[in-house]
A and B are shown apart, each in its own frame.
Chain A
Amino acid sequence: MREPGGGLRPAYQNLETWLTLTPKEEFDRVRSEADLLFRRLGITFTVYGHGDTERLIPFDIIPRVITAAQWAHVRKGLEQRVRAMNAFLTDIYGNRDILRAGIIPEDLVLTNKQFRPEAAGVTPPRGVYVHVAGIDIVRTGENDFYVLEDNLRTPSGVSYMLENRVIMMRLFPELFAQNRIAPVDHYPEELLNTLRAASPSADPTVVVLTPGPENSAYFEHAFLAEQMGVELVEGQDLFVANGFVYMRTPAGPARVDVVYRRIDDDFLDPLALRQDSLLGVPGLLSVYRSGRVALANALGTGVADDKAVYAFAPDIVRFYLNEEPILKNVPTYLCRRPDDFKYVLDHLGELVVKEVHGSGGYGMLIGPASTKAQITDFKKRIQANPGNYIAQPTLALSTCPTFVKRGIAPRHVDLRPYVLSTPEQVRIVPGGLTRVALEKGSLVVNSSQGGGTKDTWVLDA
């Protein structure tokens, strides 16, 4: 919120006035109203799932503000990154030029757990691999944006972006009158357009494939299906016949052209992938391979958001686009490299160590915040399986004013914009989901680790 010298960043001026002028009691009132609204929405959400077991993610009423100039920079960077990732996936499941050019070690890709041999030689209908990406970025200086993770499989959280905005507009209509804030509520429409563009058919039928009500993100699946006006299907609702995918309807089988699947690769098709999967559709892969159904995202995108491949992202951008990366990459030490391995073990106290396939903030070591015992324990784990770990320096993440027990205090935030790709263009709804680490000094924003969310404002110029 403040510039390095302590001055107020201009974008926050309106907000500062608002925070200063509004009496404390008013904030208390509004915060409890926000809680109530969320609980009510939460109830609406949890009834999809299982009773009251679903947790609400804490919501902070102070928005995170991004200037038009910053956003223009980020948007260009995201477009570039996602275009490069799509080119990378097309290549490694096709010619493998980047491997032959020696830019990325072959084994890092081909023996990667997320690499799908079944997808090799298959071009997805209309050529796009990553239709929906959720790129996690952080800011360290005015225009210094780093990508933390690419999330190219089934990124979630976009329903929070939409609901946070609905709640904020209900609570503070005057703020929206005073500030020119870019709207986000057309996301479902953009998503539907993107999914329709994934099929060569002129009037394609799109469905959302969910693992079912037991899944923690089920409400989001149901929410997006409802917002797009398409069917929310489970594996049992689909079947394969005559080389096509159909859904069962009372009017007879209805052909499905695009499956926005929110289940992992492994579970898509018990005939071709995990045989014990009850979530998938037998034969789906064979239809996909013949090009008669589009999967969004395509099979095998996980290999490109792997944390070891991440280290090569700048090279990937340069190789395919012949451009310099706009967004920065956090310097990454691959423990599989002997030099890096040695460096990491010597500097564990200053580094963040992550599992290559980990996610959700699990299985990581934050050196500066860890005890000697934890560091010793992690050292053994790395020595036992170096290839499974990468390490990065900690970043001086930007903070945003946040309500905490004692009033308003700075807390670290990150941002997950949702990037939609068609063969013609890349589209991004301004902003994204801001996640905030509610513990003082904490850098971990994952909701599974007690993080919260904020509304994200991209100010119109």
Chain B
Amino acid sequence: MLSRTADNLYWLGRYFERAENTARMLDVAHRSALISRQDVAAADWGSVLGISGTAKSFATKYDKADARNVITYMVTDLENLTSISACIRRARENGRALRGSITSEMWECLNETYLSLQGKDYDHVAASGFSGFFDWVKERSHLFRGVTFGTMLRDDAYHFLRLGTFLERADNTARLLDVKYHLLLPASDAVGGVVDYYQWAALLRSVSALRAYKHVYREAILPWRVAELLILREDMPRSLRASFREIDVLFGELRTRYHRDYECFRLAGDIYGKLRYGRMEEIFQGGLHEFLTDFIRRTANLGKQIADDFQLAA
């Protein structure tokens, strides 16, 4: 396989996953805003920009972070690289260059998703009842992963596609938790205080973890337990640890296949070790925000190292 092909696959995985995550963030903002006071609702929409790191570029185009502006910017704006339309378009462009490496079912899924998104704007999202549209994006992403899982040869092409998926997912869950956790934690209360059940439920739902939380903990939603679920639980598919377990497995496959050790394997192993053997108490002692900031930085470094090691950008 060519490095250019690996690069296309890796970014195809990242872009489709990012589109799904953007839909999840918008969905949680929408659900939270429904049950919030107006000033809090504004913070909900603003937090979407905070999580995706687009607050600055958003401010150059819009005055106010309300539902219409944020959804327009995060769904349709092709200049915004985290918008759903931009992600799907770039995923499709990568897929088009990969016609020899992906199955026709995968291509059709990509192409149909892209075509269906043409001309979709805020009014369309509103007409779908908001969540209807976000659910559709999630479904397309589920479908793409499922088609990939069900049809693609398990060679290194498959591994690079999955690598992009999980690196993107780890980064996004960390960002989501970092921004939301402190937004929802009442300023006066220490960890463990009384919190707004609905807001926390919306956060959990955005990562499809509400039922999982109830099943695992069988108690009221406690912020530090939410953090634990999304950071350290290996059985929670969108957690940091679960994402890095997948990366660890993928790197194991690549190590066997290429008979080589790369620096990125070591970096990923280091991060995974901290998630695997870490304790929540220690994380809180050092500060959750500090931990997540460090995690996001290390994950970005890992991304750079992957590009270097595999010569992804020729």
Contact = CB atoms under 8 A, between A and B. Distances in A.
A48 B311 CA distance: 24
A251 B257 contact: yes
User: Of residues B4, B96, B314, which shows the largest number of chain A Cβ atoms within 10 Å of its Cβ?
Assistant: B4
B99 interface: yes
Contact of A251 (B96, B99, B260, B314): B260
Contacts of A251: 156, 257-258, 260
A231 B157 CA distance: 13
Interface in A390-422: none
A222 interface: yes
A324 interface: no
Interface in A69-89: none
B314 A222 contact: no
Contacts of A231: 1-2
A326 interface: no
Contacts of A44: 99
A233 B6 CA distance: 13
A222 B2 contact: no
Interface in A170-227: 213, 222, 225-226
Contacts of B150: none
A248 B311 contact: yes
Size bracket of the B interface: 20 to 34
User: Of residues A47, A48, A233, A236, which shows the largest number of chain B Cβ atoms within 10 Å of its Cβ?
Assistant: A47
User: Of residues B2, B96, B156, B311, which shows the largest number of chain A Cβ atoms within 10 Å of its Cβ?
Assistant: B2
A237 B2 contact: yes
A250 B97 contact: no
Contacts, number: 52
A247 B309 CA distance: 15
A222 B3 contact: no
B3 A249 contact: yes
B99 A47 contact: yes
Given A222-B100, A248-B311, A234 B4 contact: yes
User: Of residues A237, A247, A250, which shows the largest number of chain B Cβ atoms within 10 Å of its Cβ?
Assistant: A250
B144 interface: no
Given A236-B314, A237-B314, A250 B100 contact: no
A128 interface: no
Dominant SS among interface residues on chain B: helix
A217 B258 CA distance: 34
A329 B1 CA distance: 46
B97 A213 contact: yes
B99 A48 contact: yes
Given A248-B314, A250-B156, A252-B260, A222 B4 contact: no
Nearest to B1: A249
A232 interface: yes
Contacts of A222: 99-100
A232 B99 CA distance: 11
Contacts of B160: 250
Contacts of B2: 231, 233, 237, 247-249
Contacts of A249: 1-3, 6, 311
B100 A236 contact: no
A44 B96 CA distance: 10
A442 B202 CA distance: 72
Interface string A21-48: 0000000000000000000000010011
B258 A252 contact: yes
B175 to A, nearest CB: 27
Interface string A50-86: 0000000000000000000000000000000000000
Contacts of B130: none
A47 B107 CA distance: 10
Nearest to A247: B2
B96 A250 contact: no
Given A44-B99, A47-B111, 7 more contacts: A213-B97, A236-B314, A237-B4, A248-B4, A249-B2, A250-B156, A250-B310
21 contacts: A44-B99, A47-B96, A225-B100, A226-B99, A236-B314, A237-B3, A237-B314, A247-B2, A248-B2, A248-B314, A249-B1, A249-B2, A249-B3, A249-B6, A250-B1, A250-B6, A250-B156, A250-B254, A250-B258, A250-B311, A252-B258
Interface of A: 44, 47-48, 213, 222, 225-226, 231-234, 236-237, 247-252
